[in-house]
């Protein structure tokens, strides 16, 4: 028996899942169910990513123990997944003491034993006030320019993974396994990224309690990616059940968002190589589902709760929409209008009505019973549909697979129109033809339902039941179930409409925004992403202490905000976002400040404007130009920048 092990990204638990997160799980679930239908020994893994400072902080805000908070969130996630009919076989949490913790420790130990983990130290002047390391060049007379205090000299341990060593092995692996990274656009991206060189990865954080301690240095915990990625192995026995691990690993398919594909294609394989473990078969980076053309985000207030979409008719219409309307691998769009439109067209008018008319005619003309027989034109179409469906599904072209199933549905409707069973019923001499025609249609519907089983599990099962399929859906196997049946008799059930037509626009529209802890934008294995590739040596990045949620007035006062007048503005050559400003902040000479607002403003629009700047920001050089300060601007989700204007006032006036 072929085995098939697939995973999705594990999710951060600092907010409930939104439609974008659900999209990933739904499509993965379709794939998992397809493989089960084929008879593969399928194992579908999902889980939560809990060792994140965001999670820790979130728990603290709510006055909860982090683990207790994670327990609650697990329930929230499981409830959503249940509501969407996600059939995962296992759910791993990164706080799992029995499975995940030993796995991470063993993996990091294996990498250490292989010489790929080394201890680096960062040392330098550390300003307690700023809570950060200060580059020597920023010190003024040996003092912190902001606090005017003498920084402490601090050494901090950090463990690094020798990612740089794997540049060549990875490139070779990509070349030898063309379908390792899909779709192709992601593959190109990753290959180029790796070609450009890899930087060793910091994999530990010192002085934190929320995380998995390094086995060889209990004072440090394993940092995000190393911890999170290991879930794929920890869930199937790595570090705690070698036999199980040998059975399941390697994973055949990792389904992840396109933003984190790179981490799965670079860090994860390198970790596995280092530990001497086999690599996964395929990593697929899916696209985003936008809402009305915009990325869903909490700040935009355009979060769609997947359960809202499933509220009235269950998860199947949503599952169908997301797999049929969005080419898998690309981005898609969700709007309630479109959702309703597709609901009516695909479900009410097309499939639902087909089931109804076949059942109604069979009941009326044949007393609800049909004798099987050799197939006519629809049998050939059904075979073609099943074949192209399987081909598409194997290629992960889910949308094409569904389209193939729908070709059969449409063909059945056309067939009925052509053969006109109701006319045949009027002529007793045509009784045989009538019986044959109705069976032909019913059998086509049955086969279409089999094809749709992975996409709409409960609806397809109901259709099968009505079409007299004796086997329970779980026992069906693709090859035999999609074959035309030529013998036997079956009872057809005429029941009510599966999907009542929606007559009013906005019939199933629900509130578009939720208050409270509606989802954040990113799927988990994400966000706190350390740079994979950057000019800055990884060694330079010290551990960032947890930022406090609230600051004191004193702390705020450290920031010197001042009114400034823009004297000159010009685009920085070769830059997409930078504008070079010359501003009057009430000092003897104008200051040069660079601002990343070129996408929102033409330089001419800026001259003469009165704005607010941060006057005591340490200088930084960007594109070779030194910037002495920073302008205040709102930066909405999805790019752009909106300058904060001030009433014209004397340049240099303190803002507070």
Partner RNA sequence: GCCGGAGUAGCUCAGCCGGUUAGAGCGAGCGUCUCAUAAGCGCUAGGUCGGCGGUUCGAGUCCGCCCUCCGGCACCA
356 binds RNA (CB under 7 A): yes
Interface residue with RNA among 99, 627, 643, 646 (CB under 7 A) is 627
Report the C-alpha gap between 501 and 343 in whole angstroms.
Answer: 8
Asked if residues 197 and 10 have their Cβ atoms less than 8 Å apart, the reply is no
Cβ 541 to RNA shortest distance, Å: 11
Residues 424 and 430: beta-carbon distance below 8 Å: yes
How wide is the angle at C-alpha 432 spanned by C-alphas 485 and 360, nearest 5°?
75
The answer to whether residue 229 forms part of the interface with RNA (CB under 7 A) is: no
| Closest among 365, 359, 362 to 425, alpha carbons compared | 365
- How is residue 206 annotated by DSSP? E
Does residue 453 have a cis bond before it (omega within 30 degrees)? Answer: no
Binds RNA by CB under 7 A, chosen from 164, 350, 388, 458:
350
Q: Which residue in the set 546, 617, 637, 653 belongs to the binding site for RNA (CB under 7 A)?
A: 617
Residue placing its CB nearer to RNA in the complex, 66 or 332: 332
Cβ neighbourhood burial of 178 (10 Å; 0-12, 13-18, 19+): exposed
- Binding test (CB under 7 A) with RNA, winner from 1, 417, 429, 634: 417
Residues 583, 565 contacting (CB under 8 angstroms) = yes
DSSP code for 583: E
Q: State in angstroms the smallest separation of the CB of 642 from RNA.
A: 12
* Contact status: 623 vs RNA (CB under 7 A): yes
Q: What angle do CA 341, 391, 411 make, to 5 degrees?
A: 50
Q: Is 193 in the site for RNA (CB under 7 A)?
A: yes
Q: How far is the CB of 261 from RNA (least distance, A)?
A: 9
Round to whole Å and give the CA distance between 632 and 52: 29
Shortest separation between residue 23's beta carbon and RNA, angstroms: 14
Write down the residue that tokens 């049929």 correspond to. Answer: 324
Identify which range of 64-72, 190-198, 270-278, 470-478 contacts RNA by CB under 7 A: 190-198
Assess 490 for contact with RNA (CB under 7 A). Answer: no
Binding part of the chain for RNA, among 127-135, 145-153, 551-559, 587-595 by CB under 7 A, reads 587-595
Whether residue 105 contacts residue 117, with contact meaning beta carbons closer than 8 Å, is answered with no
Q: Which is nearer to RNA, 188 or 513 (CB)?
A: 188
Q: If binding is defined by CB under 7 A, does position 431 make contact with RNA?
A: no
Closest to RNA by CB, 204 vs 627, is 627
189 binds RNA (CB under 7 A): yes
Binding of residue 481 to RNA (CB under 7 A) = no
Indicate the residue among 243 and 634 with the shorter CB distance to RNA.
634
Verify binding: residue 569, RNA, rule CB under 7 A. Answer: no
Question: 316: part of which helix (H) or strand (E)?
Answer: helix 316-325
CA distances (Å), 544 to each of 139, 151, 162, 525, 620, in order? 20, 16, 21, 19, 20
Site size with RNA, rule: CB under 7 A: 68
- Please answer whether residues 476 and 375 qualify as being in contact, where contact means their C-beta atoms are separated by less than 8 angstroms: no
Considering the complex, what minimum distance in angstroms separates the CB of residue 533 from RNA?
7
Told to check if 14 binds RNA by CB under 7 A, we report no
Cβ at position 613, least distance to RNA in Å: 9
- In the list 96, 116, 259, 340, the residue contacting RNA (rule: CB under 7 A) is 259
Is residue 562 involved in binding RNA (CB under 7 A)? no
Element spanning 543, H or E: none
Residue 504 binds to RNA (criterion: CB under 7 A)? no
> Is residue 564 near RNA by the rule CB under 7 A?
no
At a CB cut-off of 8 Å and minimum separation 6, what does 412 contact?
Answer: 354, 358, 378, 441, 444, 445, 448
| Footprint of RNA on 24-83 (CB under 7 A) | none
Near RNA by CB under 7 A, which window of 101-109, 121-129, 201-209, 589-597?
589-597
Q: Is 642 in the site for RNA (CB under 7 A)?
A: no
- Which member of 444, 498, 543, 606 binds RNA (CB under 7 A)? 498
- Contacts made by residues 133-142, CB under 8 angstroms, sequence distance 24+: 133/542, 138/618
**Contact stretch for RNA (CB under 7 A) within 218-226, 387-395, 506-514, 593-601:** 593-601
Among 140, 246, 431, 531, binds RNA (CB under 7 A): 531
Name the residue nearer to RNA (CB basis): 67 or 185: 185
Residue 164 makes contact with RNA by CB under 7 A: no
What DSSP character marks residue 572? P
Exactly one of 54, 60, 353, 509 binds RNA (CB under 7 A); that residue is 353
Question: What is the nearest approach in angstroms of RNA to the Cβ of residue 236?
Answer: 30
544 binds RNA (CB under 7 A): no
Is the CB of residue 611 less than 8 Å from the CB of residue 646?
yes
Q: How far is the CB of 391 from RNA (least distance, A)?
A: 13
Taking the C-alpha atoms of residue 67 and residue 489, their distance in angstroms, rounded to an integer, is 57
Closest CA to 316 of 447, 499, 494: 499
Which two structure tokens, joined as six digits, stand for 460?
């397809």
Told to check if 551 binds RNA by CB under 7 A, we report no
Q: Is 596 in the site for RNA (CB under 7 A)?
A: yes
Q: What whole-number distance in Å separates Cα of residue 268 and Cα of residue 7?
A: 14
533 contributes a contact to RNA by CB under 7 A: yes
Q: Does 302 bind RNA (CB under 7 A)?
A: no
Pairing of strands 41-49, 11-12: parallel
For RNA, the binding residue among 577, 582, 584, 637 (CB under 7 A) is 577
499 binds RNA (CB under 7 A): yes
Taking the C-alpha atoms of residue 573 and residue 69, their distance in angstroms, rounded to an integer, is 49
Residue 394: CB minimum distance to RNA, A: 16
Name the residue nearer to RNA (CB basis): 228 or 498: 498
Check whether the bond before 133 is cis (ω within 30° of 0).
Answer: no
Rounded to 10 deg, the angle between the 431-452 and 377-394 helix axes is 0
d(CA 565, CA 84): 55
The residue range among 1-9, 97-105, 268-276, 627-635 that interacts with RNA, by the rule CB under 7 A, is 627-635
Binding RNA by CB under 7 A: which of 420, 472, 486, 605? 420
- Residue closer to RNA by CB (options 418, 604) is 418
Burial 308-341 (b: 16+ CB within 10 A, else e): bbbeebbbbbbbbbbbbbbebbeebebebeebbe
Q: How far apart are CA 602 and CA 592, in angstroms?
A: 17
* Euclidean distance between CA atoms 44 and 87, whole angstroms: 8
> Can residue 620 be called a binding residue for RNA (CB under 7 A)?
yes
Per CB under 7 A, the segment of 114-122, 371-379, 497-505, 550-558 that binds RNA is: 497-505
Tell me the HSE value of 213 on the side-chain side, using a 13 A CA sphere. 8
Q: What angle do CA 18, 526, 617 make, to 5 degrees?
A: 110
Residue 355 interacts with RNA (CB under 7 A)?
Answer: yes
**Interacting residues with RNA (CB under 7 A):** 184-185, 188-189, 192-193, 196, 258-259, 325, 327, 330-333, 341-342, 344-345, 347-350, 352-353, 355-357, 360-361, 364, 410, 413-414, 416-418, 420-422, 497-501, 531, 533-535, 574-578, 593-597, 614, 617, 620, 622-623, 627, 629-631
């Amino acid at each position: 028996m072929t085995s098939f092990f697939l995973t999705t990204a594990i999710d951060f638990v600092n907010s409930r899942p939104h439609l974008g997160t659900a999209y990933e799980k739904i499509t993965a679930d379709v794939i998992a169910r397809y493989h089960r239908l084929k008879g593969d020994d399928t194992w579908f893994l999902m889980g939560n990513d809990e060792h994140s400072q965001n999670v820790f902080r979130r728990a603290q805000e709510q006055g909860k123990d982090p683990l207790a908070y994670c327990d609650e969130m697990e329930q929230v996630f499981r409830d959503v997944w249940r509501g969407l009919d996600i059939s995962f076989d296992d759910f791993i949490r990164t706080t799992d003491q029995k499975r995940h913790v030993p796995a991470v420790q063993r993996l990091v130990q294996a990498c250490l034993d292989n010489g790929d983990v080394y201890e680096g130290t960062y040392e330098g002047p550390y300003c307690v006030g700023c809570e950060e390391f200060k580059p020597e060049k920023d010190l003024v007379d040996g003092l912190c320019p902001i606090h005017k205090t003498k920084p402490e000299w601090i050494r901090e341990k950090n463990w690094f993974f020798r990612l740089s060593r794997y540049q060549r092995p990875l490139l070779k692996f990509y070349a030898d396994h063309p379908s390792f990274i899909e779709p192709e656009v992601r593959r190109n991206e990753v290959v180029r990224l790796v070609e450009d060189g890899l930087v060793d990865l910091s994999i530990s954080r010192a002085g934190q309690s929320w995380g998995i301690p390094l086995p060889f240095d209990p004072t440090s915990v394993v940092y995000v990616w190393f911890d999170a990625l290991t879930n794929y192995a920890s869930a199937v026995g790595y570090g705690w059940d070698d036999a199980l691990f040998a059975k399941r690993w390697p994973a055949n398919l990792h389904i992840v968002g396109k933003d984190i594909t790179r981490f799965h294609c670079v860090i994860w394989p390198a970790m596995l190589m280092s530990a001497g473990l086999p690599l996964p078969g395929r990593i697929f980076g899916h696209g985003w589902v936008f809402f009305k053309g915009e990325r869903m985000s909490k700040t935009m207030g355009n979060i769609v709760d997947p359960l809202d979409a499933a509220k009235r008719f269950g998860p199947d219409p949503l599952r169908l929409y997301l797999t049929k309307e969005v080419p898998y691998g690309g981005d898609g769009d969700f709007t309630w209008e479109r959702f309703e439109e597709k609901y009516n067209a695909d479900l009410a008018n097309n499939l639902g009505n087909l089931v109804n008319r076949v059942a109604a005619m069979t009941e009326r003309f044949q007393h609800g019973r049909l004798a099987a027989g050799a197939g006519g034109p629809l049998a050939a179409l059904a075979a073609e549909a099943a074949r192209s469906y399987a081909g598409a599904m194997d290629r992960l072209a889910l949308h094409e697979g569904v389209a193939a199933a729908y070709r059969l549905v449409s063909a059945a409707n056309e067939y009925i129109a052509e053969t006109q069973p109701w006319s045949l019923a009027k002529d007793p001499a045509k009784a045989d033809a009538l019986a044959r025609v109705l069976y032909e249609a019913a059998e086509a519907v049955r086969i279409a339902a089999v094809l749709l089983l992975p996409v709409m599990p409960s609806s397809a099962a109901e259709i099968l039941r009505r079409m007299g399929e004796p086997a329970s859906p779980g026992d069906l196997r693709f090859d035999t179930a999609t074959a035309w049946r030529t013998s036997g008799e079956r009872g057809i059930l005429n029941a009510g409409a599966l999907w009542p037509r929606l007559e009013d626009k906005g019939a199933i529209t629900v509130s578009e925004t939720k208050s409270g802890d509606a989802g954040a934008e990113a799927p988990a294995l994400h966000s706190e992403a350390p740079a994979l590739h950057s000019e800055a040596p990884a060694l330079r990045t010290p551990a960032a202490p947890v930022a406090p949620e609230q600051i004191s007035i004193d702390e705020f006062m450290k920031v010197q905000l001042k009114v400034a007048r823009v004297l000159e503005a010009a685009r920085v050559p070769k830059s997409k976002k930078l504008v070079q400003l010359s501003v009057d902040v009430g000092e003897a000479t104008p200051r040069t400040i660079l601002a990343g607002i070129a996408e929102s403003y033409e330089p001419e629009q800026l001259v003469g404007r009165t704005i607010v700047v941060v006057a005591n920001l340490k200088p930084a050089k960007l594109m070779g130009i030194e910037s002495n300060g920073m302008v205040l601007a709102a930066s909405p989700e999805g790019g752009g920048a909106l300058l904060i204007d001030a009433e014209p006032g004397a340049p240099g006036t303190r803002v507070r």
